[in-house]
A and B are shown apart, each in its own frame.
Chain A
Amino acid sequence: MKHRTRKATRHVNQNEGLIFEKSSPGKAAWKLPPLDVPEVDSAALLGSAERKDLGNMPEVSEIEIIRHFTRMSTWNYAIDLGIYPLGSCTMKYNPRVNEAVARVEGIANGHPYQPEKISQGALQIIKTLSEQLIEITGMDAITLQPAAGAHGEMTGLLMVRAYHQSKGNARKKILIPDSAHGTNPATAAMVNYAVENLKSDLRGMVDIQALAAQMNEDVAALMLTNPNTLGVFEQDIHKIADILHAKGGLLYMDGANMNALVGKVRPGDFGVDVMHLNLHKTFSTPHGGGGPGSGPVAIKKALEPFLPTPVLTKKADGTLGFDYSRPQSVGRVRAFYGNFGMFVRALAYIQANGPDGLRQTTEDAVLNANYIRKGLEGTYDLPYSTPTMHEVVFSDKTQLKKGVRTMDIAKRLIDYGFHPYTTAFPLIVPGALMIEPTESESKEEMDLFIEAMKSIAGEVEEDPQTVLGAPHSTRVSRLDETAAARKPVLRWKPQD
């Protein structure tokens, strides 16, 4: 079977060295206006604190910088080029109006300490987004301060701890299913809770018997991702919440997969006490090569006294302001008020969608995942046949017979013009292929993806070496990660 790459065609792209290799004295990309105050003698002002030399910082012109970064940009795959089906990462379209409104003068240049009187615009944005996220999640209150999902987890668990502490016993441990993201146990450790693993049942869901057996008064909370990392909705969610609540525990929901739920079901309605959202996943703020994120934490009423400071409030005169006097607060988790620029983008996204758009978005995301499942079932092994929500997890069991693993298939997908799926996660599926198309993909794009995946499966049978050696069409072939870690070279140095 000859492979077909209908999605992409190879074409020349530019080489480009490190910026330091282009630098030479006397080139410059900057120009300052003349000083309108007297010049100063920095040596006299700073004494021994004066810096004499800036080492190997580059000296280049503006056109070189434009070309440097533009050339490098063409070496990246991106959502703007096509499907980016990383499971659990929700790589959806990043609307450009979000970027435009984040750059409006008063929003981009607002100082976090400017008087509240002239900050009403920013405060109104925070209030509006907060209210809408509360409605979307069905929770009672929210903080937007955490800078990312993992930071939100930490904030949520700090509130869990403060809640239990206020009842006289902070408790000792957090239950975490074996399918969970690695951030969950890492976060529990940061908040000084022990981690106890909870095994999944044959359907890939929380094992209710195991949960009932492990639940006791030492357990502060269960951290549950729902739908979980298999893309499976925890159908016994009401039983899970009941088991926890009966022993005074709380239900924490990792909202990483909220893209399967918005407008269709609300975590607050199915017993969740605390949850975080990822504005960079569900609410379309750009991933930008790995951040910035934003991880608001929504809570039920009982946890409200413990919200991080400050909390947005409406003052007696009807204006908005911050309340810093919160004696039971867990404290601050970040300077200022969080990643405000991401709030602007998320709000613009919600406004563009409205209630019907958000619902349709969720429906399309789930439809797309099921379409891919249907298209690849039989070609790739499906370890759990439980219904799929927003993402589907296959395994490389069939291909492994030819010595081909999930990472090899992923690398071969690159040659077909696609970004790979998430490899080797969740940990409960050996050799996992975790695929989340999101709502942003057309039927045509998914048909191309399915065709490519099938073509690769054919290659595995007929010519596994092609797959094992992939990618063949990129500017660099597989990189030596072992060498990178053994003798780390983490910065450029001039050659003597």
Chain B
Amino acid sequence: MRYLPKSPADRQAMLKAIGLRSVDDLFAPIPAEYRLSRELNIPRQMAESEIVDFFRQRSRENGDGYTSFLGAGAYFHYRPVIIDSLISRGEFLTAYTPYQAEISQGTLQSIFEFQTMICELTGMEVANASMYDGSTAAAEGVMMAVRLTGRRSVVVARSLHPEYREVLATYATHQGMPLTVAGFNDDGRVNLKEVEKAITPETACVLIQSPNFFGTIEDVAAIADIAHKHGAMLVVSIAEAVSLGIVEPPRQADVITMEAQSFGVPLGFGGPYCGVIATQEKYVRQMPGRLVGQTVDKQGKRGFVLTLATREQHIRREKATSNICTNQALVALMVNIFMTVYGKVGLKELAKQNLAKTAYAASQFAKHGKVLFGSTPRFNEFVVQTSEGPYAINGRLLGHKMVGGLPLKKFYPELGNAALWCCTELTTRSAIDTAAGLVAESERSVRSSKVEDVEEVTR
């Protein structure tokens, strides 16, 4: 086996040194009746070339070469080449959690910079070293508010990513955290009256997303006012990190939870991604996950360490703030490099291109289909309502090697034949025109078939 660095002679010499005759003696502690007396029933060893062939084949069966208008919590942005160059360095790729600070300063300083940039972008005072993803970060953010307020119930916006809502429901079930859902208005924003009505003296927090699942930017200040008036916290989830380049961050929030996948992390069929929690300094001791802090060594030289570990499971066990043990360090490093590459000016320009492409696309779609929530500011997603079902339209788009917007019937049946479309800086005008053209064709054919139906009846 090519990964194993021992010759048969080495193994013999080692067995002899230990005082054993055969390798089977090493497994004697396992009761014989449980020891496997056969080889595992899996395919034979494959050569590297065969492995590469296998995955190339799977890649061809996996949408390779399609242009996509999908977003909905996972975004296709350009990834600068140096991200993979740098994260492929073995010292980053094959290091463990930086418990031994003296020989982990590379990872530690990089996380410190990550925490700083997340603070700058979110307007919060502290950020952790990353969470599993945006959905679990949102659930952990809510649990943090529960600990901080000593209250247990949660008001959740229906315009929060539906799968984030499902994850929160799973986490909440056994922690005695009742969830109430607040709907959205015709403008695509959270219904403030419903929020106000749902809040009780037992409400720990209101959880919203902005830009929300429909791409619409929420009136965060108004929701914060309502929550705070009743002693509840506001937790804001951000699923599209690139929005922070041009959209004012939800500074009124008490906790911001985020999915940073947009910052240089491949779509990768849904993961691994990079969750983040950011908050105000006074809440840091209730924050889950790892934190890196600055300190000095014995000579007074600046260095970085994992800190505030007393919140964590390996010290606190069942009294920990969370059971979380790993973070997403390597993915956070991708995010860090992406933020460094674009920086203060580039992130803004990048976000502006997303805004422009989306504004153009929405205007093209609006000529034929109905673009919902059109009057409210949005970032890079929009909902298009069509006469024909979106699956049928998307089926035709597939013929042009294009993936249309996400049909919303499964999540929001009340929106009818609606789909969530997304444009990024990588979406071309010609792709937008082709897709809008197909939607137009669909509308025309539905209209003419309706006319025919009517004629048939009258005849």
Contact = CB atoms under 8 A, between A and B. Distances in A.
Contacts of B340: 19, 29, 58, 60, 65, 68
Interface string A188-207: 11111001000000000000
Interface residues of A, number: 196
A59 B55 CA distance: 38
Interface in A58-102: 58-60, 62, 65-66, 68-70, 72-81, 84, 86, 89, 91, 93-95, 97, 99-102
A405 interface: no
A338 B46 contact: no
Contact of A148 (B100, B106, B326): B326
A69 B323 contact: no
A45 to B, nearest CB: 6
Given A40-B355, A361-B1, A480-B297, A374 B61 contact: no
Given A49-B377, A335-B163, A484-B294, A70 B89 contact: yes
A480 B293 CA distance: 11
Interface string A174-198: 0000000111011111111001000
B103 interface: yes
Contacts of A342: 271-272
Interface size class of B (residues with CB under 8 A): 35 or more
B220 to A, nearest CB: 9
B172 to A, nearest CB: 10
B355 A110 contact: no
B167 A488 contact: no
B433 to A, nearest CB: 10
B36 A289 contact: no
B214 interface: no
Interface stretch (B191-199, B227-235, B329-337, B450-458): B329-337
Contacts of A264: 27, 30, 35-36
B417 interface: no
Interface in A84-132: 84, 86, 89, 91, 93-95, 97, 99-115, 117-122, 124-125, 132
B313 interface: yes
A352 B41 contact: no
A332 interface: yes
A333 B167 CA distance: 5
Contact of B127 (A125, A186, A491): A491
A363 B25 CA distance: 10
Contact of B267 (A108, A183, A265, A488): A108
B264 to A, nearest CB: 12
Contact of A185 (B317, B328, B356): B317
A289 B330 contact: yes
B319 interface: yes
A35 B425 CA distance: 9
Interface string A345-374: 000101111111111110110111011001
A35 B423 CA distance: 13
B73 A335 contact: yes
A293 interface: yes
A466 interface: no
Interface string B13-35: 11101111001001111110111
A478 B344 CA distance: 35
A12 interface: no
B48 interface: yes
Contact of A69 (B134, B337, B359): B337
B257 interface: no
Nearest to B169: A331
Nearest to B5: A442
Contacts of A195: 317-318
B323 A186 contact: yes
B217 A46 contact: yes
Contact of A419 (B30, B100, B115, B317): B100
Q: Nearest 10 A-B pairs (CB), nearest first? A: A288-B330, A336-B270, A80-B90, A106-B64, A121-B62, A106-B59, A354-B45, A112-B270, A121-B61, A292-B272
22 contacts: A32-B349, A51-B244, A54-B347, A77-B95, A79-B94, A104-B56, A115-B403, A147-B132, A153-B323, A182-B320, A185-B317, A190-B322, A238-B33, A286-B93, A286-B94, A289-B107, A290-B327, A352-B3, A359-B40, A425-B314, A479-B305, A485-B293
Given A477-B297, A485-B308, A490-B294, 9 more contacts: A40-B359, A65-B340, A112-B270, A185-B318, A262-B40, A351-B45, A356-B45, A368-B14, A471-B103
